Chain A
């Protein structure tokens, strides 16, 4: 997937296919970037002069703002485009939109799109770096990375941990990126949710399956609780929100029955009282706000690593760049 000598290649479309070394490099690079957001002047000049377009065809608050902070703290120039109020609403195709942006000389595109595969489709057609900010049911790699970073921060490692993803796995790009990333770094991964919301063959992704959330909690070190998208209920996948909460909801009572201290993640936005109870979300098990903080650092790391130029010229530059 990555070209030889380039740490990540041109694009970040997904975590599938990334090696453990590549994932660790991104997480290690994110560490020093955390500190920049704690400074009085939250800005370093490393991407000065780069132009980044945030192309969001789906609604997003957290991811878009997080990317925008990451870009601005690295001194890039950013433009935000959303599908409403742009020529996309007039029927322009994705490639035409991107080609027009390229004609204005941009360097990177961050894309969120409702269709699985949209990020790869774009990456193969334009020379700019493309970062997937979520495409349909496929992947949301930077969310996966920030989850990995948050787990590593708290647990000190990822290898050997038992992580269970709870909720709507089938329609979740967050679940997929988590599964690829966690498995590459040596964690055991399980999924837990109503049969109707599990992928047809979770075993093929290397996951155990728990049909009861109590069993998952007994087994796991970490729970990643996914949002129940309300449209799923309307489509008949689950009978009612109350019933979902009663059977699948992560509550303090269930966590207290666990044999060990469990870390609880949630990618947001939360439906309090549906997939997660308020006292869990705000309680000692939760690292939900750490995830948000880490999201900026991880995105800075990805932008930084993708922005680097040709390593074949590195030797020549080092001669002149020494001290």
Chain B
């Protein structure tokens, strides 16, 4: 996907979030580290342009909620978690991630959000759904569904980490994250 493809997809995701919620009241965006944070920020800017409203936006790092520390060893905790000042109790929390794959990251994020408070509803929004779920967790709002050939891998690129915006299919083993 080119940069403009991504921008169009994000704009549509932003519209869908507002539409589903019947406006921006009570919305909170939570980007999942790493690249979900930038996608969430793009969604926030789209909503601000369309609706003139600044939606509270936070981020979560699910490292400490993973179920595979034993297997993968300790990893750096990249960002820590950041809650919007008004909290998430009674809010509609939109979890934003770059890629939906096994569902394990989302499960960990749901557990972490549960420890932070009790939202009225949680919605999952991803830029790319590449299938391959290992848990019964599905995105509510998707930028694009992608079929990934055997031996390949989806990589979402954001300017903050990768110098440009886009989505690539790369050979496995060549991915950076």
Contact with B along A308-323 (1 / 0, CB 8 A): 1111011011111111
B106 to chain A, nearest CB (A): 8
Residues of B within 8 A of A318 (CB): 72
Which of the four size classes fits the interface of chain B?
A: 20 to 34
Contact B115 A29 (CB under 8 A): no
Query: A35-B81, A323-B102 given as contacts; is B64 within 8 A of A45 (CB)?
Result: yes
A137 within 8 A of B: no
Distance (whole angstroms) from the CB of B66 to the closest CB of chain A:
7
Please determine whether A41 and B61 come into contact, CB atoms closer than 8 angstroms: no
**In the bound complex, do residue A32 and residue B79 qualify as a contact, i.e. CB atoms below 8 Å apart?**
yes
Residues of B within 8 A of A126 (CB): none
For residue A217, give the distance in angstroms from its CB to the closest CB of chain B: 37
Residue A79 is within 8 A (CB to CB) of chain B in the complex: no
Residues of chain B within 8 A (CB-CB) of A41 are: 115-116
**Does A29 contact B72, Cβ atoms closer than 8 Å?**
no
- Whether A313 contacts B71 by the Cβ 8 Å rule is yes
Interface residues of A in 279-323 (CB under 8 A from B): 304-305, 307-311, 313-314, 316-323
Bound complex: CA of A39 vs CA of B105, how far in Å?
21
- When chains A and B are docked, how far (Å) is the Cα of A33 from the Cα of B72? 20
- Complexed CA–CA distance, A34 and B102 (Å): 30
Residue of B nearest to A310 (CB): B73
Q: Find out whether the CB atom of B102 lies under 8 angstroms from the CB atom of A322.
A: yes
Residues of A with C-beta under 8 A to B144: none
Given contacts A35-B81, A323-B98, contact A308 B69 (CB under 8 A): yes
* Interface positions of A from 5 to 55, Cβ below 8 Å from B: 6-7, 25, 28-29, 31-33, 35-36, 39-41, 43-46
B104 at interface, CB cutoff 8 A: yes
Identify the closest chain B residue to A300 (Cβ).
B64
Across-interface contacts of B100 in A (CB, < 8 A): 323
Cα A227 to Cα B11 with chains together (Å): 62
Q: Which residue on B lies nearest to A321, using beta carbons?
A: B68
Contact with A along B106-132 (1 / 0, CB 8 A): 000001100111000000000000100
Interface size on A, residues (CB 8 A): 35
CB-defined contacts of A317 to chain B, threshold 8 Å: 68, 71-72
Which residues of A sit under 8 angstroms from B69, Cβ to Cβ?
46, 307-309
Q: State whether the Cβ of B13 lies closer than 8 Å to any Cβ in chain A.
A: no
With beta carbons under 8 angstroms apart, the residue of B74, B130, B134 that contacts A307 is B74
Shortest distance between the CB of A305 and any CB in chain B (Å): 5
Q: Are B97 and A44 in contact (CB under 8 A)?
A: no
| Residue numbers in B under 8 Å from A313 (CB-CB) | 71-73
Q: Cα distance A316–B69 when bound, in Å?
A: 13
Residue numbers in B under 8 Å from A309 (CB-CB): 69-73
Interface centre among B65, B74, B112, B134 (most CB of A within 10 A): B74
* Further 4 A-B residue pairs, CB within 8 A, beyond A29-B77, A32-B77, A321-B104: A44-B115, A310-B73, A313-B72, A322-B99
- 26 pairs, A vs B, C-beta closer than 8 Å: A7-B74, A29-B76, A31-B80, A32-B79, A33-B77, A35-B80, A36-B64, A39-B115, A40-B117, A41-B116, A43-B115, A44-B65, A46-B65, A305-B74, A309-B70, A310-B71, A313-B72, A314-B71, A316-B71, A317-B71, A321-B104, A321-B105, A322-B99, A322-B105, A323-B98, A323-B99
